[in-house]
Amino acid sequence: MASTNIDSPCVQSHLAILQSVIARMASNSANCKMWCVTLVAAILVVGADGAKIRFALLALVPTVFFLLLDAYYLSLERCFRHKYDSFVENLSRDPSVVSGMFVVKLNMTRAAKLRSLAESALSVSILPFYGSLAIMIVVAWWLMHKP
């Protein structure tokens, strides 16, 4: 088998594929936050109408949904970053290692996926954003609900 180094076009292509997946997951995560704020604001505006105050708490539904979706994307991003780092580390140790070249699939058990999702949901980029949004929804509902 021919030796492969870090400058090989095959290696560079593989790393570019992984980088594009990582960038796409980061973009999806940012879009989750944007869409969540947009939907929550729309629901709160509708809830601000006196007769529809009870609908304000419905804004918690997209908040929880987007929290989970955002955590999922962050989890995938972290897994692909780990795959990228592992590939480069293995290649630097043994230049003939080409196993897994162009394989983008993550080999994780269901338990590992759930653990990664939970860790992502509790991360600094997820929990403070959605937690503060949920608190603001409850405060807005309470302020609208006050006589």
pLDDT in tens, 12-35: 888 888 899 999 999 999 999 999
Q: How confident is the model at residue 44 (pLDDT cuts 50, 70, 90)?
A: confident
What is the pTM for the complete model shown?
A: 0.84
Distance (Å, whole) CA 85 – CA 89? 6
Query: For residue 26, how far is the Cα from the chain centroid?
Result: 7
> Residues of 112-143 as b/e, b for ≥16 C-beta within 10 angstroms?
eeeebbeebbebeebeebbeebbeebeebbee
Distance (Å, whole) CA 26 – CA 103? 20
CB atoms within 10 A of CB 33: 17
Which tokens hold the place of 19? 């980088």
pLDDT in tens, 62-74: 999 999 999 999 9
Tell me the backbone φ, ψ of residue 80, rounded to 5 degrees: -70, -35
What is the chain's Cα-based Rg?
Answer: 21
pLDDT in tens, 96-134: 666 667 677 788 888 999 999 999 999 999 999 999 999
pLDDT at 98: 66
Closest CA to 127 of 73, 81, 45, 67: 67
Instruction: From residue 22, give the alpha-carbon distance in Å to each of 85, 98, 116, 146.
Output: 12, 21, 16, 46
Q: Are 131 and 39 in contact (CB under 8 A)?
A: no
